[in-house]
Amino acid sequence: MKIVITGSLGNISRPLSIALITKGHSVTVISSNPGKQQEIEQLGAKAAIGSLTDASFVNTAFTGAEAVYCMVPFDFSVADQDMHMKQIVSNYVQAIRQHGIRRAVFLTGWAAEIAGHSLTDVFKALEGVAISDLRPAIFYTNFYQMMDMMRGKGMMGFVMGLRAYGIRALFGRRGLLIGNYGAEDRIILVAPEDIAAAAVEAFEAPVSGLNVRYVGSDDLTCNEAATIFGTAIGKPWMKWIRISDKQMLQGYKMAGLPEGLAKDLVKMQAAIHDGTILAQYDRHRPALGKVKLTDFVKEFAKKYI
């Protein structure tokens, strides 16, 4: 099968591309970075270099495809994240219709309903296309962005924003995770490799219509996750402190995130704390993937040093 993969050679797209090539599929990988072309070709894939916001480029890149993997990357430089995502999804829909592609795997997320990124409208616009809506939970790899906080250094702008709300004392301790969900809140974490495996299954399974699949690798509380991370990096006392939505928003804004994006992130994270997202997940509860948090922290610890 001829398959187009978006997401360059990211945490999901790389293992997905390798798995599909190994299975004998013809793969084209889209990347906005010309420097990735050689690396893509060395994997045995074809490289298509351009921007997903360019409708003409996307249309050309999808030429000849029988199936596509569509993800929408965050762009932290864009103030209106919702408009950015809608533009890219619109480009995907136009190209899929133009070329009569009959199978599409969309990567959304377990907060898709909360964020207003449901594929219901996309499905209506793509009548006759088998669409798999993959909704992964919280990526293990997101924790790389929290390394400084775990070291006790924090993220300067973020910390300044939180200090404005009187929680300076938290940063006197080393080994903390902070968010507007945390402590004994239940969370689902997921390995990019398990998401890639789910995408491979979605391409090869006999499906029709719109199929929603949540993807998770481990199910635990925030403090249980903090203990696993802390033990791996020599801080077994590590805790995950929950702060208010208002404090979280201030921290994001002081860290330089566009206000619209900051508000969206706070809203989605609040829905983890109040159980809204978990209720959606539990209604579609999947079998957990193979890569557990205890597996991931071994690699995390190597980079933490």
- DSSP letters of 14-63? HHHHHHHHHTT-EEEEEES-GGGHHHHHHTT-EEEES-TT-HHHHHHHTT
**Half-sphere exposure (Cβ direction) of 239: Cα atoms closer than 13 Å:** 8
Among the four given CATH numbers 3.20.20.120, 1.20.1250.10, 3.40.50.300, 3.40.50.720, the one describing domain 2-138+190-216: 3.40.50.720
Taking the CA atoms of 177, 181, 187 and 189 in sequence, report the sign of the dihedral they define: negative
CA distances in angstroms from 296 to 4, 44, 57, 107, 140, listed in the order given: 28, 27, 36, 22, 7
Residues 6+ apart with CB under 8 A from 284: 135, 212, 213, 214
Of the listed ranges 5-9, 98-102, 193-197, 256-260, the least confidently predicted one is: 256-260
Q: How far apart are the C-alpha atoms of 177 and 175, rounded to whole Å?
A: 7
Q: What is the pTM of this model?
A: 0.89
Domain with CATH 3.40.50.720 in the chain: 2-138+190-216
- What residue type is 81 in one-letter code? Q
Q: How far apart are the C-alpha atoms of 248 and 151, rounded to whole Å?
A: 19
Q: What's the pLDDT tens digit per position in 263-302?
A: 888 999 999 999 999 999 999 999 999 999 999 999 999 9
Whether the per-residue pLDDT at 155 is higher than 60: the answer is: no
CATH code for the domain defined by 140-187+219-304: 3.90.25.10
Element (H, E) at 266: helix 259-273
Q: What's the pLDDT tens digit per position in 4-32?
A: 999 999 999 999 999 999 999 999 999 99
Contact 237, 156 (CB under 8 A): no
Domain with CATH 3.90.25.10 in the chain: 140-187+219-304
**Inter-axis angle of helices 245-254 and 259-273, nearest 10:** 150
Contact 293, 216 (CB under 8 A): no
Q: Mean pLDDT over all residues of the chain?
A: 87
77, exposed or middle or buried, with CB in 10 Å at 0-12, 13-18, 19+? exposed
